[in-house]
Structure 1
Amino acid sequence: MSTSLLGLAVPQEYGYVLCATAGTFFLGFWHGARIGPYRKAAGIPYPKAMAESSDMSAADADQKKKMYLFNCAQRAHGNYMENQPSVAIALLVAGLQYPLWSAGLGAAWLVFRTVYAVGYTREDKTKGEGRLYGAPFWFAQLGLFGLTTWTGIKMLL
């Protein structure tokens, strides 16, 4: 069964796709909001985007760790912002043909992106390897890209 959205026939389950897509907006907001405490703890003033090597060379070991974690939080957010637009578009397009698969992959992507961000800022990890716990987001993202491609091919055939 399908319904009409702005004159476009969409599957009834497309609401799940829209909710998953909206989830990417809220997760982006969460990413941005969680950087503030790391910035404050590291003592990095605005408009600096990252703690630079000159900042770290003048800091004690505890302050260096705080600057490192701030940089990790910033990088997790940056990586999220690099990937979110294409994922949101893939969700919306693939969801026209495969709403449940798309919404499921979108939900998995959201969960693993959260794990990625939290892992990246784990104090007991060095070199950001905690982010690897969330790396399966790549599989969800590639799945969405594949479904989007297949949707386009089916339209052409």
Structure 2
Amino acid sequence: MSLTIQLPAEYGYVFGAATAFFFVNTYHSLLTGSYRKAAKVSYPNCYASAEQAEKDPAAFHFNCAQRAHANFIENLPTVITSLFIAGIKYPVLSASLGAAWAVSRVLYARGYTRNGPKGRYIGAIHSIFGLALSVLSGMTAYSFIRPLW
């Protein structure tokens, strides 16, 4: 038995939201790079040492930028996959949630790098957007599986 999936005309919005993630990743990379340079943390070191970060605010902020970027990369596979799956049935809602997730990730990075760990709360709503995409993804999967029962 084969399955044919016809994408809705609005699926282009899903591609647009996914493309925004590439730019958010670039933003994270540039942000982290600028903080790395200011902290004088050389490659291949991923972070400044705890001692260095305690003594040097630039090293502390670099660690925050690096952690914000790592958190973005950790969440990206789940979110982008959920976006593409959920977009099959809910393209506009999924694209909107994806765009909101991208914006909130920028806010998260800015808050975290400027104000330390507590500053990340300003963009922490990204978790809700990601969860909503996961739920929509599950609903989409269910809609394809249900007729097979």
In the superposition, the TM-score normalised over structure 2's length comes to: 0.91
Residue 4 of structure 1 corresponds to which residue in structure 2?
A: none
1:85-124 alignment, distance < 5 Å: 85-122=77-114
Residue 30 of structure 1 corresponds to which residue in structure 2?
A: 27
The answer to whether the 8 Å contact 2:7/2:88 transfers is yes
Residue 150 of structure 1 corresponds to which residue in structure 2?
A: 139
Two-structure CA RMSD over aligned residues (Å): 1.4
1:13-92 alignment, distance < 5 Å: 13-56=10-53, 59=55, 64-92=56-84
Residue 95 of structure 1, CA deviation: 0.1
% identical equivalent positions: 42
Which deviations, in whole Å up to 9, do the C-alpha atoms of 1:43-100 show, x marking residues without a partner? 111110000124346x4xxxx1100000000000000000011111111110000001
Residue 131 (str. 1) matches residue 120 (str. 2): yes
Higher strand share: 1
Give the number of aligned pairs: 143
Higher helix share: 2
3-state SS, counterpart of residue 70 of structure 2: helix
| Structure 1: 5+ residue stretches without partners | 1-6
| Structure 2: 5+ residue stretches without partners | none
3-state SS, counterpart of residue 51 of structure 1: coil
In the superposition, the TM-score normalised over structure 1's length comes to: 0.86
